[in-house]
Homo-oligomer: A and B are copies of this chain.
Amino acid sequence: MKARVHVMLKDGVLDPQGEAVRHALGSLGFEGVEGVRQGKVIELDLAEDDAGKAEAQVREMCEKLLANTVIESYRVEVL
């Protein structure tokens, strides 16, 4: 079973990487870029074939490793 995790910085947390990308896009001549937020997408191949168990397992992975839950939020998709 495949699962996909989206990890983004929580609203209100400064995103220096996003700001750097925004400035770089501006210097490349792209106008009208008002905001950029950058996060991670993690695709997992799991031996588990029960969707419910897989989702619970991935949520636990997020809590323990994949996301820094103090400043990041995550979203799990089981595919």
Interface residues of A (CB under 8 A from B): 6, 8, 18, 21, 24-25, 28, 30-48, 57, 60-61, 64-66
Contacts and interface: CB of A to CB of B under 8 A. Distances in A.
Contacts of A47: 31-34
Copies in the complex: 2
A33 B21 contact: no
A48 B25 CA distance: 15
7 contacts: A6-B41, A28-B65, A33-B46, A34-B46, A35-B44, A36-B45, A38-B41
B36 A42 contact: yes
Nearest to A32: B47
A40 B39 contact: yes
A36 to B, nearest CB: 6
Contact of A28 (B37, B39, B64): B64
